[in-house]
Every structure is written in structure tokens, then in C-alpha cells.
């Protein structure tokens, strides 16, 4: 049996924070604001995985009101989410994701992000698609006020 999940996450860009995307620290003059490290890509993937099995969302499992998750590395959240999926008897077939941000350029960092995510989720790198786009300077994304990530996942029941 197959299950499809979709996730989306938004975070505000601010000065004085590291920029984490796909589990990789990206050099930039701004980072994303959040209770955790605010890695929008990993959060969107978590939501897609959880949604595929109707397990709620990242806020249900890792609430931003909990001191336990303050400044947590989102790679830990992804690993915990993967365990929830595994415990339900499912494996990941593939992930297709998109980052929306004006700057910095993401293309040079995609292989490192794919490798990081693949290691956490026990996948081959070619099972993880990461695309990036700008909004051509339109909206809060184009003004570098925030970033968005979307993710779609296909899960398969283990035999």
C-alpha cells in the first residue's frame, strides 16, 4: 500500500541567526527565526511524512511551546519523525521538495542537503529531489523577509 503526503513550512528571515536548510548551514547574512533552528525544508519534509499517515503535523509532535525543543537541531526532529513512520511499518519511496527564497543561491548546496537527508532517512540520494526558486523579488520572499519550503513524499508499506 502506498501513501502520499504533502508538507509546507514558512519562517521569517532575521539578522543574527544561522541559516539552516536541508540540515546544512548555508553562509548568509540572515537566518530563519523559529523555536528550533527553523530549517524550513526539514520541517516541510516532517509534515509531509506525518501527513502521509494522518499522524498530525510537526507542531503536534514537537510543539514550539515545549522547552525540550527550544533551539533543537531539525535533523533530530526528522530522525524522530522517520522513526514514527518506521514504527507504522512504512518506508519512504521518494521525496520531492522545493525551497522558495530570494537569496542566497541554493544550487551549490543541494548535494550536501541531499546527502544529509539521505543519511537520516536511510535513502539513496537519488530518492531526494530538492529544487529552489526565487519569487523574482515579489512578495515577502522576494524582499528577503522569509522563506518557504514545500515537500511531497511517497511512502510504501514494508513487506
- Return the pLDDT at 104: 96
Q: Are 102 and 144 within 8 A, CB to CB?
A: yes
- Return the pLDDT at 92: 98
Domains of the chain: 2-93+106-157 (3.30.1330.50)
Sign for the CA dihedral angle at 59, 37, 150, 157 comes to: negative
Torsion angle defined by CA atoms of residues 100, 156, 81 and 104, in that order, rounded to the nearest 10 degrees: -20
In angstroms, the Cα distances linking 33 to 13, 77, 92 are 6, 17, 29
Q: What is the pTM of this model?
A: 0.97
Mean pLDDT by 10 residues, the chain (159 residues): 98 97 97 96 98 96 88 96 98 98 96 98 98 94 96 96
How many angstroms separate the CA atoms of 83 and 148, rounded?
A: 25
Secondary structure class of 146 (helix, strand, coil): strand
Amino acid at each position: 500500500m502506498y501513501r502520499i503526503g504533502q508538507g509546507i513550512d514558512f519562517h521569517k528571515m532575521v539578522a543574527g541567526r544561522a541559516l539552516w536548510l536541508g540540515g546544512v548551514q548555508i553562509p548568509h547574512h540572515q537566518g530563519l527565526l523559529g523555536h528550533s533552528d527553523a530549517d524550513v525544508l526539514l520541517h516541510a519534509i516532517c509534515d509531509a511524512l506525518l501527513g502521509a499517515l494522518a499522524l498530525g503535523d510537526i507542531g503536534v509532535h514537537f510543539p514550539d511551546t515545549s522547552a525540550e525543543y527550544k533551539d533543537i537541531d531539525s535533523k533530530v526532529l526528522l530522525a524522530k519523525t522517520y522513526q514514527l513512520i518506521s514504527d507504522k511499518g512504512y518506508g519512504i519511496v521518494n521525496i520531492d521538495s522545493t525551497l522558495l527564497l530570494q537569496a542566497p543561491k541554493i544550487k551549490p548546496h543541494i548535494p550536501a542537503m541531499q546527502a544529509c537527508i539521505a543519511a537520516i532517512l536511510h535513502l539513496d540520494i537519488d530518492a531526494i529531489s530538492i529544487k529552489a526558486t526565487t519569487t523574482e523579488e515579489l512578495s515577502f520572499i522576494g524582499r528577503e523577509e522569509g522563506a518557504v519550503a514545500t515537500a511531497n513524499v511517497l511512502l510504501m508499506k514494508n513487506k
